[in-house]
Amino acid sequence: MPKPGLEGIVVGESAICQIDETTGSLRYRGYLIEELAEHATFEEVAYLLLHEHLPSSIELQSWQAELEHAEQLPNLVRPFLQTIPSSVHLMDILRTAVSFLGMTDPDNNNPSHEANIRKATSLIAKIPLLISWAIQARHDPLPLQPLSQGSFAGNLLYLITGTIDPDKAKELEISLNLYAEHELNASTFAARVTASTLADLYGAVAVAIATLKGPLHGGANEAVAVMLQTIGEPEKAKSWIHSRLTGKERITGFGHRVLKHEDPRTTIMKRRAEGLSQKLADTRLYEMAEIIEQTMKEEKGLHPNLDFYTAVVYLLLSIPLETFTPIFVASRITGWCAHIIEQQDHNRLIRPRASYIGPSSRDFIPLHCR
Ligand SMILES: CC(C)(COP(=O)(O)OP(=O)(O)OC[C@H]1O[C@@H](n2cnc3c(N)ncnc32)[C@H](O)[C@@H]1OP(=O)(O)O)[C@@H](O)C(=O)NCCC(=O)NCCS
């Protein structure tokens, strides 16, 4: 009998991401995350995931031009966004908007490698605009058009906060590189199941966004930020965590299905959080996070996951809370699309079995006799 939640089950082969559970090391297409995170641009990482190799300068230039070309939304999207009540979560808007975009793409039902690469490129370019337009439709007007130059991360930061700041953009970029891919996490697996029916790429991405939203998955970065804001100050952190653990509650930002030791992505993000808090001369949040980390190690033997210190960094960058998980989408869409393409290039329908534990055979009794 498999463990609940398919724990430890290998369900297929993939050449995209390698997680070594014993050493905790992580590689995208053979490259260590430590080398990619702080030394590659997000555009290079996205290219690597989709095209299977790091780009040359010429390939990178042409990829950036493709992304810039696709950085626009069909006219129909704006009136659609304006009909959405302001209480709706941005993740729900994104999920529906991606579905909507699928309906406007004449190549929607073409699962060929070339069509999928083109659709993936288009979606990667459009997600930052979708987030921006969705915020704009509910709050004060923000800039609607991407900057004519600059990095993907710089543009994302600008479209979400209206800020142009290369140092902040670099911090955001590192988080995008870390979030881009993580093998068969729940949202990627969901996307692959959908893609395996030869359903369209937009549909598979919409399913992935729906899956990422949950607080046990991508929604955790927003939930961590809410927790940190609720605790408020380092002096209260230890007792707050103790009281939650006494009540048998889970502490968001801790634990991982696959990584039971340190996660190299968290190590990088923690270092960035520490550096950023010193640079901003605002160390209270980081101090509080460290106390929580220490308390969780002592009480539960659990390590922080990537979402924990990412939330600290995003709070220090003054990124709006509602965009934390959508930013995860803006990055993980690269991994999702690489998996959807890999699945459809070598497709076999994903259709596992369940072990039946329901009632044994029962005789049907007509309604009037029940
Ligand atoms: C990520 C997560 C869903 C993985 O869950 P999982 O592999 O099913 O882990 P399990 O539910 O088997 O947990 C094993 C034990 O650790 C405990 N545990 C796991 N995560 C915990 C957490 N965040 N806080 C407190 N206890 C936790 C469980 O209660 C369980 O203890 P028990 O054996 O005494 O009952 C889980 O760690 C969690 O809920 N984390 C918080 C949400 C989060 O940060 N999600 C982002 C993930 S990247």
Show which residues are catalytic. 256, 307
Q: Is 300 in the pocket of ligand 1 (CB under 6 A)?
A: yes
Supply the pLDDT for residue 290. Answer: 98
Q: Among 274, 301, 316, give the residue marking a domain's end.
A: 316
Q: Is 216 in the pocket of ligand 1 (CB under 6 A)?
A: yes
Task: Examine the domain organization and report whether 185 and 294 are in the same domain.
Answer: no
CA of 140 to the centre of ligand 1 (A): 38
Rounded CA separation 136/134 (Å): 5
CA of 254 to the centre of ligand 1 (A): 7
Residue type, 9: I
Task: Examine the domain organization and report whether 85 and 186 are in the same domain.
Answer: yes
Integer angstrom CA distances of residue 264 from 19, 32, 55, 239, 259: 10, 10, 24, 28, 10
Rounded CA separation 346/325 (Å): 30
Task: Examine the domain organization and report whether 285 and 193 are in the same domain.
Answer: no
Q: Closest by alpha carbon to 337, among 205, 212, 213?
A: 205
Q: Which tokens in the block code for residue 48?
A: 């690597």
Q: pLDDT of the chain along its 370 residues, tens only?
A: 778 899 999 999 999 999 998 888 999 999 999 999 999 999 999 999 999 999 999 999 999 999 999 999 998 888 888 888 889 999 999 999 999 999 999 999 999 999 999 999 999 999 999 999 988 887 666 556 888 788 999 999 999 999 999 999 999 999 999 999 999 999 999 999 999 999 999 999 999 999 999 999 999 999 999 999 999 999 999 999 999 999 999 999 999 999 888 899 999 999 999 999 999 999 999 999 999 999 999 999 999 999 999 999 999 999 999 999 999 999 999 999 999 999 999 999 999 999 999 999 999 999 999 9
Residue 7 inside a domain? The answer is no
Residue 184 inside a domain? The answer is yes
Task: Examine the domain organization and report whether 54 and 185 are in the same domain.
Answer: yes
Supply the pLDDT for residue 71. Answer: 93
Task: Examine the domain organization and report whether 149 and 282 are in the same domain.
Answer: no
Task: Examine the domain organization and report whether 309 and 339 are in the same domain.
Answer: no
Q: Is 250 in the pocket of ligand 1 (CB under 6 A)?
A: yes
Q: Among 316, 336, 358, give the residue marking a domain's end.
A: 316
Task: Examine the domain organization and report whether 296 and 338 are in the same domain.
Answer: no
Beta bridge partners of 17: 28
Among 216, 221, 246, 258, the mutation site with the greatest number of ligand 1 atoms within 8 A of its Cβ is: 216
Task: Examine the domain organization and report whether 84 and 173 are in the same domain.
Answer: yes
Q: Closest by alpha carbon to 123, among 142, 107, 143?
A: 107
Task: Examine the domain organization and report whether 165 and 68 are in the same domain.
Answer: yes
Task: Examine the domain organization and report whether 112 and 155 are in the same domain.
Answer: yes
CA of 250 to the centre of ligand 1 (A): 7
Supply the pLDDT for residue 42. Answer: 98
Whether 316 and 161 have beta carbons less than 8 Å apart is answered as no
CB burial class (10 A; 0-12, 13-18, 19+) of residue 164?
middle
CA of 192 to the centre of ligand 1 (A): 24
Residue 295 inside a domain? The answer is yes
Among 300, 305, 307, the mutation site with the greatest number of ligand 1 atoms within 8 A of its Cβ is: 300
Task: Examine the domain organization and report whether 294 and 205 are in the same domain.
Answer: no
Whether 318 and 168 have beta carbons less than 8 Å apart is answered as no
CA-nearest residue, atom 2 of ligand 1 = 256
Which domain CATH number covers 251?
1.10.230.10
Residue 2 inside a domain? The answer is no
Rounded CA separation 345/359 (Å): 41
DSSP assignments along 294-359, one per residue = HHHHHHH-PPB-HHHHHHHHHHHTT--GGGHHHHHHHHHHHHHHHHHHHHHHT-----------S-
Rounded CA separation 332/123 (Å): 12
What number does the ligand 1 atom closest to the CA of 250 have?
Answer: 24
Domain containing residue 243: 220-316
Residue 353 inside a domain? The answer is no
Q: Is 305 in the pocket of ligand 1 (CB under 6 A)?
A: yes
Residue 240 inside a domain? The answer is yes
Residue 361 inside a domain? The answer is no
Rounded CA separation 206/349 (Å): 19
Task: Examine the domain organization and report whether 104 and 183 are in the same domain.
Answer: yes
Which domain CATH number covers 161?
1.10.580.10
Structurally, the chain folds into a number of domains equal to: 2
Residue 290 inside a domain? The answer is yes
Q: Which tokens in the block code for residue 280?
A: 């901003």
Q: Which tokens in the block code for residue 174?
A: 């590192």
